Structure 1
Amino acid sequence: MVVAILFLTSLVLLTGAPAAATQVLTNVSFSPVLPLAPGSVQYTTSSITIIPSGATTFSRYHSLQMQTGLLDAQWDIQVIVNGIPAAQQPASGATAFVNGYLLSYPTTSDLAFTVAINGTVPASAGTTVTVLQVTELDNGGAPVPGSSITVTAPLHSAPPGTPGNPSVTATPLSSPEPVSSSQEAHMPGFSAGVGIGGAVLGALAWVSVQQQRHT
């Protein structure tokens, strides 16, 4: 009887608290290029690779919540398995969700997804805009600690002296194979130089891509 109770308890723990996957941002592109212009239409694409830490690439009982600060946003989310396009999901508005079963594959599979957003830059957004935030939610709808990825971009109103070469906080794992996209911008291990004219009339642009990991 004791053995059976222990077995059932272990089974509940394993199925009720699946391990969270690790998301690694591999590429970001902007069109038009940075800095963003308030009130203008902006198109951005982010590529994210998923590193599994459980029995599958992603828990089918979890989900991904995606948010953007762009207005009237139109989303195109493309799942890529072993380099081949798989599930595709459109969405509209400030928030989009992806069910875990669309991301759940055997760990022998290479899983990634791209997030394309087309929206309007807010006219009064301050100096930066949160272009994309991706957070894994557990089966109760609560954020999984340390699972968020945030992509921010500067506006033309960014103050002079803002760093032109952004720093990227990468996941302390071996680098995954990047997912290609139409335009390359800033990604882990990659920085773009910023030309400096004789008289700087505009603000220096910067992109800060931060992966927040909490315990």
Structure 2
Amino acid sequence: MPIPGRSPASAGAAAVLILISVALLIGSPAAATLVLTNESFSPAPPLVAGSGQHAVNTITIIPSGATTFARSHTLQMQTDLVNAWWNIRVIVNGIPAAQQSASGTAAFVNGYLLSYPTTSDLSFTVAINGTVPASAGTTMTVLQVTELDNGGAPVPGSSITVSAPLLSPSPANETSPTVPSTASPVAPTTPARSDGFLFAGSFFAFVAAAAVYGYARSRH
């Protein structure tokens, strides 16, 4: 029975708008809020290029919709560690509820593993083992978590990043400039006369003196 004062056409239009609104709410679940509640590194930062690294991060999910997490959404996890190995555990009300492993630079968790009534306390722990790559930067992304929607696109404002500083490489050993050696000047040496030469010179001087003396006496 039509509502008094409202035409059937307007009533139908209102019903269509209500259906569209409900469809939008169902098709676009509210994004959850991700909060980093604990982190640990072994060994402790700064990270050293080429060395092994173990990191454990706990993230709490604060629901923003009808459930703790949209079943049709996905969590994407990424790391800059090389040859990474993942161990992910979902914890509900303090009790382990799900566990999965992965390898590589990325891992994914389906939304149905995170979807619980909003009265539940939900968190998940991400343990990563890998190798710190050689890098010229000063920091490295150990973990980045992003919520993806139904189409695989990042949900705005849902990403959190865990970074750690890198140890600055030591400067290459530089060769000290060679200082030229300063040799002390060598005093020129006077050629030494042989004793034979000195004796011969004295002998001829004596003979010459004797000849002059004899000539002088013969004149008298």
Deviation at 1:4? 3.2
Q: Distance in 1 between matches of 2:37 and 2:71?
A: 23
- Preserved CA contact (<8 Å) 1:127 1:158: no
Deviation at 1:3? 3.8
Q: Distance in 1 between matches of 2:33 and 2:96?
A: 20
Structure of larger gyration radius: 2
Q: Distance in 2 between matches of 1:133 and 1:84?
A: 24
Letter in 2 for 1:142: A
Report the 3-state secondary structure (helix = DSSP H, G, I; strand = E; otherwise coil) of the residue aligned with 2:22: helix
2:111 pairs with 1:97:
no
2:152 pairs with 1:141:
yes
Task: Provide the TM-score with structure 1 as the length reference.
Answer: 0.71
Structure 1: 4+ residue segments shifted above 4 A: none
2:122 pairs with 1:111:
yes
Among the aligned pairs, what percent are the same residue? Answer: 75
2:96 pairs with 1:85:
yes
Deviation at 1:158? 7.6
2:76 maps to 65
- Preserved CA contact (<8 Å) 1:70 1:121: yes
Between the two proteins, the alignment pairs up a number of residues equal to: 159
Q: Distance in 2 between matches of 1:9 and 1:121?
A: 50
Letter in 1 for 2:73: H
Q: Where does structure 2 lack aligned partners over 5 or more consecutive residues?
A: 1-11, 171-220
CA root-mean-square deviation: 1.4
CA displacement, residues 157-185 of structure 1 (integer Å, 9 cap, x when unaligned): 189xxxxxxxxxxxxxxxxxxxxxxxxxx
Deviation at 1:6? 2.2
1:33 maps to 44
Q: With a CA cutoff of 8 Å and minimum separation of 6, indicate the structure with the bigger relative contact order.
A: 1
Q: Distance in 1 between matches of 2:123 and 2:151?
A: 24
- Preserved CA contact (<8 Å) 1:128 1:158: no
Q: Distance in 1 between matches of 2:27 and 2:169?
A: 45
